[in-house]
Amino acid sequence: MTDIPPESVRMARNTRGIAQHDAEPQIDIVRMRGYRLGRVQRMLRERDLAGVLLYDPINVRYANGSSNMQVWILHNQHRYCWTPAAGKCVLFDYPPAVHLAEHLETVGEIRPARPWTYFGAGDDYDEKVGLWADELADAIRETSDGETRVAADHLDPLGARALEARGFSIHNGQEVMERARSIKSDDEIQAMLISISVCEAGMARMHEELRAGVTENQLWSHLHQVNIAMGGEWIETRLLSSGGRTNPWFRECSDRIVRAGELVAFDTDLIGPFGYCSDISRTWFCGPGRPTAEQKRLYAYAHEQVQANIGEMRAGRAFREVAETSWRVPNEFVARRYGSMAHGVGLADEWPHLTFSDRADMSMPGMLEPGMTVCVESYIGAEDGNEGVKLEEQILVTEDGPQRLSTYPYEHDLLA
């Protein structure tokens, strides 16, 4: 195991408990909701927008703190929210569930949603979209003092045309929300640390259950079980593979039986308590036996890449500068390297996307700022190789340098 410098995990070592306790500090949920709504409204005012129409349930949750059947709503447009540039949100909730958000101080009004997708409206979708647009237009006018520039994160052409016919111009709400979500408050960091604690508890259970003869699905199921039992919500992918299935990356888990002497690699992509994402990767060796020289070589490269690039995550550095000075992937691994050197993380994977040293000219504009939370990635596997290694750490950008939020240890036998 490689020692983690104590100062780099100071925040992680002071993670708060999940349960309320009158003698211990707690996350201030009301303050967190207020901060997040304030971030959205600041972005709206800076862009001279009357407000933003939100359909993505992660964006709705960020703006007002409400959640309802999050995964189902991801592909069923039965819930949406109008967030004005000032004042409280108007939430249009799944009709049988309008009572769920009544307690939220961020929500000024709750109305039944008017779904107009074909699933919700059938052949009456033309009529339904008109009713939807009329009611939404009323809500916009009531909260925007006649302003007609509005943003939307996800809006089908039929809906966009209906709003435009009522005098509104539609602008990019995804940019508004990604920028708003990128800077975390102290309460958000504490919520994320609790989510990571749950995630790492699940990883520990997986490690306990790793043995020759277990299937990939059986191993993966332990992460889900711990997450749900400890108040988490869902897992966005099934990225776990073993042996030759670790190269190339991005194979999801199967009923393949793990054999002794193989590598097992995974990426958690876990949405834990409070809806915060824990995006951590590890690669383990399945005993009995000892890792081969090639397995150790791959692991050493991946470990070196992650550790070097964590050091690049310093406030005030432009994304292009970070790309230019990041760890250079050896040529034999370039073809199958991971899709990004690092990326933002919050309620899910988020902006920004940081690229590699040889692609610095393709870096997006922007810079690292204090309060950004970033996942630093590595995948090392050759085109003609058998196995590959996936590692990833979650960190916080601060004025004093990167703070490690994930602390799960590395494999001693693979680093020795």
The percentage of residues in the chain with a pLDDT greater than 70, rounded to a whole number, is 99
Inform me whether the pLDDT recorded for 383 exceeds 60: yes
Cβ contacts of 72 within 8 Å, gap of 6 or more: none
Q: Which of 31-35, 70-74, 116-120 has the highest mean pLDDT?
A: 31-35
Between CA 257 and CA 215 the distance in angstroms is: 4
**pTM (2 decimals)?**
0.95
Between CA 229 and CA 318 the distance in angstroms is: 41
User: β-pairing, 342-345 with 263-267?
Assistant: unpaired
Give the other-Cβ count within 10 Å of 248's Cβ: 15
Cβ contacts of 126 within 8 Å, gap of 6 or more: none
280-286 average pLDDT score: 98
| Helix pair angle (29-46, 57-64), 10° resolution | 110
| Helix pair angle (125-144, 157-165), 10° resolution | 50
User: pLDDT at position 121, please?
Assistant: 81
CA angle 101, 105, 107 (to 5 degrees): 55
Between CA 389 and CA 410 the distance in angstroms is: 12
- CA distances (Å), 369 to each of 42, 47, 318, 345, 362, in order? 17, 20, 9, 14, 20
Inform me whether the pLDDT recorded for 3 exceeds 70: no
User: pLDDT at position 27, please?
Assistant: 92
Residue 239's pLDDT band, with cuts at 50, 70 and 90, is: very high
Inform me whether the pLDDT recorded for 318 exceeds 90: yes
Which of 110-124, 189-203, 379-393 has the least mean pLDDT?
110-124
- Fold of the domain spanning 29-181: Creatine Amidinohydrolase; Chain A, domain 1 (3.40.350)
Cβ contacts of 172 within 8 Å, gap of 6 or more: 151
User: Domain spanning 186-415: which superfamily?
Assistant: Creatinase/methionine aminopeptidase superfamily (3.90.230.10)
- Is the Cβ–Cβ distance between 270 and 231 less than 8 Å? no
- Which bin fits 158, alpha (ψ -120 to 50), beta or left (φ > 0)? alpha
Residue 2's pLDDT band, with cuts at 50, 70 and 90, is: low
User: pLDDT at position 36, please?
Assistant: 98
Inform me whether the pLDDT recorded for 6 exceeds 90: no
The percentage of residues in the chain with a pLDDT greater than 90, rounded to a whole number, is 87
Between CA 357 and CA 320 the distance in angstroms is: 9
Place of tokens 């129409």: 53
- Is the Cβ–Cβ distance between 248 and 228 less than 8 Å? no
Inform me whether the pLDDT recorded for 13 exceeds 90: no
Does residue 16 or residue 134 have the better pLDDT?
134
User: By C-alpha distance, which of 76, 92, 77 is closest to 138?
Assistant: 92
User: pLDDT at position 126, please?
Assistant: 87
Q: Residue 89 has which token pair?
A: 């949100």
- Is the Cβ–Cβ distance between 70 and 99 less than 8 Å? no
User: pLDDT at position 415, please?
Assistant: 93
Q: Residue 68 has which token pair?
A: 């309802």
Q: Residue 35 has which token pair?
A: 């901060």
SS3 labels along the chain = CCCCCHHHHCCHHHCCCCCCCCCCCCCCHHHHHHHHHHHHHHHHHHCCCCEEEECCHHHHHHHHCCCCCHHHHHCCCCCEEEEECCCCEEEEECHHHCCCCCCCCCEEEEEECCCCCHHHHHHHHHHHHHHHHHHHHHHHHHHHCCCCEEEECCCCHHHHHHHHHCCCEEEEHHHHHHHHHCCCCHHHHHHHHHHHHHHHHHHHHHHHHCCCCCEHHHHHHHHHHHHHHCCCCEECCCCEEEHHHHCCCCCCCCCCECCCCCEEEEECCEECHHHCEECCEEEEECCCCCCCHHHHHHHHHHHHHHHHHHCCCCCCCEHHHHHHHCCCCCHHHHCCCCCCCEEEECCCEEEEEECCHHHHHHCCCCECCCCCEEEEEEEECCCCCCCCEEEEEEEECCCCCCEECCCCCCCHHHHC
The β-bridge partners of 320 are none
User: pLDDT at position 122, please?
Assistant: 84
Between CA 259 and CA 196 the distance in angstroms is: 29
Residue 361's pLDDT band, with cuts at 50, 70 and 90, is: confident
Q: Residue 391 has which token pair?
A: 């590692």
Between CA 200 and CA 70 the distance in angstroms is: 23
Q: Residue ranges per domain, the chain?
A: 29-181, 186-415
Inform me whether the pLDDT recorded for 1 exceeds 50: no
58-63 average pLDDT score: 98
The tens digit of pLDDT for each residue in 151-194 reads: 999 999 999 999 999 999 999 999 999 999 999 999 999 999 99
Residue 4's pLDDT band, with cuts at 50, 70 and 90, is: low
